[in-house]
Amino acid sequence: VNPIGCGDCLAAGTAWGLARGDSLVDAVRLGIAAAADNCIDVYSHDVGIVPGPRGFTLLVGGGLGMSFGVKATHPRLADPLGVVEAERLTAAIEAIISIHLDHGNRTNRKLARLKYVLDEWGLERFKTEFEMRLGGPVAPPEQLAWRSASDHLGWHAQADGSWMLGVPVPSGRIRDVEGARWRTALREAVERFRLGVRLTPQQNVLLIGIPAGAREEVRRTLSGHGVRLAEQLPPVVREALACVSLPTCGLALAEAERVLPEIMDGIHGVLAESGLGEQAVSVRIAGCPNGCSRPYTAEIGIVGQSVDLYTVFLGASPLGTRLGSVFAEKVPRREIAVRLAPVVRLYASERGTNEAFGDFCHRLGMASLQAEERTVAS
């Protein structure tokens, strides 16, 4: 059981275990979000936990992994199951995990995630079984309203008067390289100012408990080692994410982390040409369809299909509440930005007020976007 949380709450501080836990069909990923803040991509988890005024809203059946050529596999966002009180939260999660243990697919590893139980049963049957195992009904789920899914980069005031600094770390690699010594910089800042550290699901670092009078010294410490802070990076670059892919991962079909700078330079260039250089657009790159970098919930998702060829997904919600759709397949790496350029230009000229790129692509639909690209190409 792999819990991912966003803060210090009851759920984040609770550990779950089952007597039969070593017999699980597959991993169970738990996501614990804060109210209105979906920075952890809570719908992408097997079990999502969201605190609210009546208790904890449970989400079930999320998961983004798939396999090209296996139609039965697909990304899926979690469904709202219901609200449980704090005192029943542990029992509720154990009930969900026990359903997965007893009814998950044990013959085909590609179909072993909890999301496929939801696909086969439907939410109502799952809820009936869940309430039977829990020993009673649960309240209807809250209507969740998300304000943001950003990664808290930059400076943020804390309730105790201190400050938090979100530091972007490309692909989560805390290492010293030519021109940027992340490991040295972070260690010096943490040790010198006795800071707390949080690692985020988007692979960045939050420095916690910075005294108000030390903000400038912390900034100078990081900048002195070549670490660029959020305000020094274009929005599309600072929250971009890639999985490790080649040469680390044996499942990789194409490059991801090592080509992230090249791809992001191209995408930012296309945005800048249309006057959108400061536009926030989420971009995630995965080296295979398992999607460890969560490309299917990014406004632009780029997924390795074979050597140097990628499938491009567009139209996901910037709040993580809608999956992207296939825009183009088998796109050579060096053509990704070129293929996106007509869509970006269309967005620049026809978007609604404050309309996000992903929402615009979803509103127009893939057929319209593909037609625009073909028209420009011809």
Question: Which DSSP string do the residues of 153-200 spell out, in sequence order?
Answer: -EEEE-TTS-EEEEE--GGG---EETTEEHHHHHHHHHHHHT-EEEE-
| 148: in domain | no
User: Does 142 reside within a domain?
Assistant: no
Q: Given 203, 233, 263, which residue is the final one in a domain?
A: 233
Based on the number of CB atoms within 10 Å of its own CB, is 37 exposed (0-12), middle (13-18) or buried (19 or more)? middle
Question: 370 to each of 11, 47, 314, 376, 377, how far by Cα in Å?
Answer: 44, 35, 11, 10, 10
User: Which pLDDT value is given to residue 52?
Assistant: 95
CATH number, position 167: 3.90.480.10
Residues 253 and 212 occupy one common structural domain:
no
Number of domains composing the chain: 3
CATH (domain of 349): 3.30.413.10
For residues 112-135, average pLDDT:
97
Q: Which of 215, 233, 251 is the last residue of a domain?
A: 233
Give the DSSP letter of residue 347: H
Tens-place pLDDT, residues 218-255: 999 999 999 999 999 999 999 899 999 999 999 999 99
Q: Are residues 202 and 259 in the same domain?
A: no
Give the model's pLDDT for residue 18.
53
Co-location of 130 and 225 in the same domain? no
Segment holding 49, helix H or strand E: strand 47-52
Look at residue 41 and tell me whether its pLDDT is greater than 70: yes
345 and 331 inside one domain: yes
Domain range for 198 is 154-233
- pTM beyond 0.95, yes or no: no
pLDDT range class, residue 22, cuts 50, 70, 90: low
Q: 100, 134, 168: which is the final residue of a domain? A: 134
Residue 141 located in a structural domain:
no
- pLDDT bin (cut points 50, 70, 90) of residue 15 is very low
Same domain, 114 and 94: yes
Tell whether 14 and 26 lie within a shared domain.
yes
Is there a domain that residue 144 lies in? no
Residues 250 and 371 in one domain: yes
Q: Is the peptide bond before 247 cis (omega within 30 degrees of 0)?
A: yes
